[in-house]
Structures are given as structure tokens and as C-alpha cells.
Amino acid sequence: MKPIASILAAAVVVLSAGAARAETPTYYSDYGLGFALTVGEGMYIIDNNVYRAPVSLELVPSLGWTWVKFDLGLYTTLESLDVAGTEVGNWNFTFRPGGRFTPPMIPLYLRAAFPLQIQRYDFDWGVMFGLGVDFHLFLMFGLVLEVDTTLTNQFEWGRDGMPLEFRAGIAVHL
């Protein structure tokens, strides 16, 4: 009887250790400092026509905790395009200060930012909303996928058209 009891006790210990390890998330949601570098492209919907948006690059340093992260997005377009005779396709540099709401235990986040866009001869401002995921790859690296839309003063707050942007990149969490 003693060997069977020892085997059962060992099995319980091994199984409970595995169960405790399974509860530990395989991604990170609690960190201090992080960076994301993403490339994006999208479209503008203007008067029921779809126009390609310029390719863009965004560096997002962030500081945060489990549920809330504060971002300072540094965004630039890499090309200029003619988009329905508007200025929205011209080269620009944009500060995107904002934040993300990240529920724990899932890699999904909601993002909001206040883009302050500096164009060649103009300035624009607005509100950006996004939905994204930050999948853990290995060590401190992750894969970021995000979809954004921005309401801006130049686009008459969505009346003249609506941008939709798709972003993908790498995140580093320190």
C-alpha cells in the first residue's frame, strides 16, 4: 500500500504544479516601459469612393501598468499621395499622445489618442480611436496588430470622409 500512496502523492504534486503553471499567462500585461514600432497603410472613404492612404511609420513609447498604459506616438507618413484633391495624403509628422486600456489576461487593447499633425504648410488636430492586440512572441518581444480611425478638424470631424488605418509591428516590453 505504501508504494501506491507514494505514487498517488507524487502524481498530485506533479499535476498541481502543472495546473499552477498553466494559470500563468504566456504574454505580458504588467510592465513599466515599452516601445512599439509599427508600419501602417490604410484607406480614406470620401464621397463613397475609396482612396489608398500613404504608408506610415509609428514609434510608440509607453509607460503603464496592468490596465492602463500612457503612450506618446511619433507618427510620420513615408510618401505623399493625391487623395481626392485634399491635403490628407500629403507628408506629415504627427504627435499622438494618448493611452491604452488593456484588460488583464487577454492581449487585446483599446487605444485613444489626440493626434497633433504637422503638415508641410498646415496643422491639424483630432481624436484617434483604435483596437489592437499585442501577442507575446518570446522573451520581451511581441507582435502588434492594430486598426485605427481618426476624426480630425481638417476632415470636418468625419463629415468629409473617414480614414481607416491598419498597422503591424514589433513591441518590446522592458
Dump pLDDT digits (tens) for 53-104. Answer: 899 999 999 998 878 999 999 999 999 888 777 777 778 899 999 999 988 7
Q: What is the DSSP string of 50-118?
A: EEEPPPEEEEEEEEE-SSEEEEEEEEEESS---BTTBSTTS-EEEEEEEEEE--TTSSEEEEEE--EEE
Amino acid 15: pLDDT: 46
Q: Would you state the cell numbers that stand for residue 153, as one nine-digit string?
A: 478638424
Which residues in 55-86 are b (16+ Cβ under 10 Å) and which e?
Answer: ebebebebebeeeebebebebebeeeeebeee
CATH classification number, 28-173, choose in 3.40.50.300, 2.40.160.20, 1.20.140.10, 2.40.40.20 = 2.40.160.20
Nearest to 27 by CA among 72, 70, 73, 66: 66
Amino acid 23: pLDDT: 42
Q: What is the pLDDT of residues 23-61, one digit of tens each?
A: 444 445 455 899 999 999 999 888 888 989 899 999 999
Amino acid 4: pLDDT: 57
Amino acid 21: pLDDT: 40
Q: How far is CA 4 from CA 7, 8, 40, 85, 145, in A?
A: 5, 6, 61, 81, 51
Q: What is the mean pLDDT of the chain?
A: 82
156 vs 20, residue with greater confidence: 156
Q: What is the pLDDT of residues 130-151, one digit of tens each?
A: 999 998 899 899 999 999 998 8
| Mean local confidence (pLDDT), 16-20 | 44
Delimit the domains of the chain by residue range.
Answer: 28-173
Q: pTM of the entire structure?
A: 0.77
Query: Do 124 and 152 meet the contact criterion of CB atoms below 8 Å apart?
Result: yes
Angle 107-113-115 (CA atoms, 0-180°, nearest 5)?
140
